[in-house]
Amino acid sequence: MKVVYIISKVSKAVAFEWISEELPKKGVELEFILLGENERTELKEFLDSKGIENHFLKLSSKKYYPNVLLRLLQLLRTSKANAVHTHLFDASLLGLMAARIAGIKNRIYTRHHATYHHDYFPKMVKFDKLINRIATQIVAISPNVKNVLVNRENVQVEKIRTIYHGFDLQRFEHPHEENVQQLKAKYNPNKKGPVIACISRYLELKGIDHVIKAFAQLLQDYPNAYLLLFNAGGPYEKEIKSELAQIDPQSYLEIAFESDVFSIYHLMDVFVHVPIGPNIEAFGQTYVEALAAGIPSVFTMSGIAPEFIKHNENALVVDYSDHKQIYDSIKRILSEKELKDRLISNGQSSLEVFSLNHFINSLEDLYKNESNTFA
């Protein structure tokens, strides 16, 4: 059984590293086609180091579409693949088209966004619907995504398989201590605290501006508090910078990229992830990662959160776009030890459904399912 993964504009993703290591143990041969601006990425270097067949196709703008489509067609015709599985928009649009032309009957794509195009780029919805039609099977990463596919894009329920992201939970709970200390020295050399943190690109939908407002209020109670903003940068940067200008520049740090996702959580005292609506987040991996790392967290209910987050049990839940509630919740965690300990313990014990083993088994079942008749 051979599956070709086509992925667009991903430089580093531990999920694909896990997939490339674990699925072959299940008898699934893998080949990767990576689309993006730069060939030298951590993902490609990882695949090369493991001897996993992979190809890079340059895609830095839509003008590359015709050439990429042609090259995909050539690669797929010689791949002897039983199925193609695509991830992210460009890979899904071009990869599924090429797979269909190449005569590959099993065309799977994982839908990584929920209402993002509906809310911010409505002209793109027609391309989402085209991808839905070309695919023979769609992986929804959460019930929220499935709901969008069915109720807003009229996809047949039978075409959708819900598979949650999987995580190596132990690596988040127990990163290498040396790595943690190195990151602390790098990002918080003055040992400020308590440390509040977000991991999100600067998008309006992520609610980071409300976190900054809450943090500004927290500074009045904790003058030495420190805000870490990971994945800093994005289309909402101007508005974020405007909020940051209201607080002491020594009290926060913006970090554009940090590849050690396992260690960064252990720099934090409180993690905050507060998307501004119930449907805008497709999954939200940080919901799972933060709890796996044992970091007490403040959340809004979006993406995967309604499936396992319980207020006052494994996290504190706040209303959308409410910086006052964010502030109050952070302060509760910092001042109530019993609450903090309960959130940590219950958080780590509520994640079995997101285990890496469960994820890999679900993918194996997807590829071997009788609805996908492999040659």
Rounded Cα distance, 18 and 13, in Å: 9
pLDDT for 268 equals 98
Phi, psi of 4 (to 5 degrees): -100, 120
CATH of domain 169-351: 3.40.50.2000
Q: Which helix (H) or strand (E) holds 131?
A: helix 125-134
Same fold? 2-166+355-368, 169-351: yes
Q: pTM above the 0.85 mark?
A: yes
Q: Which two tokens stand for residue 318?
A: 């706040």
pLDDT for 311 equals 98
Q: Which two tokens stand for residue 94?
A: 């071009």
Q: Which two tokens stand for residue 26?
A: 């299940």
Rounded Cα distance, 273 and 208, in Å: 8
Domain ranges of the chain: 2-166+355-368, 169-351
Q: Is residue 346 within 8 Å of residue 313, measured between CB atoms?
A: yes
pLDDT for 369 equals 78
pLDDT for 375 equals 37
CATH of domain 2-166+355-368: 3.40.50.2000
pLDDT for 370 equals 43
pLDDT for 368 equals 86
Q: What is the pLDDT along the chain (375 residues), one digit of tens a residue?
A: 999 999 999 999 999 999 999 999 999 999 999 999 999 999 999 999 999 999 999 999 999 999 999 999 999 999 999 999 999 999 999 999 999 999 999 999 999 999 999 999 999 999 999 999 999 999 999 999 999 999 999 999 999 999 999 999 999 999 999 999 999 999 999 999 999 999 999 999 999 999 999 999 999 999 999 999 999 999 999 999 999 999 999 999 999 999 999 999 999 999 999 999 999 999 999 999 999 999 999 999 999 999 999 999 999 999 999 999 999 999 999 999 999 999 999 999 999 999 999 999 999 999 987 444 433
Phi, psi of 194 (to 5 degrees): -70, 150
Rounded Cα distance, 142 and 164, in Å: 6
Q: What is the CA radius of gyration of the chain?
A: 21
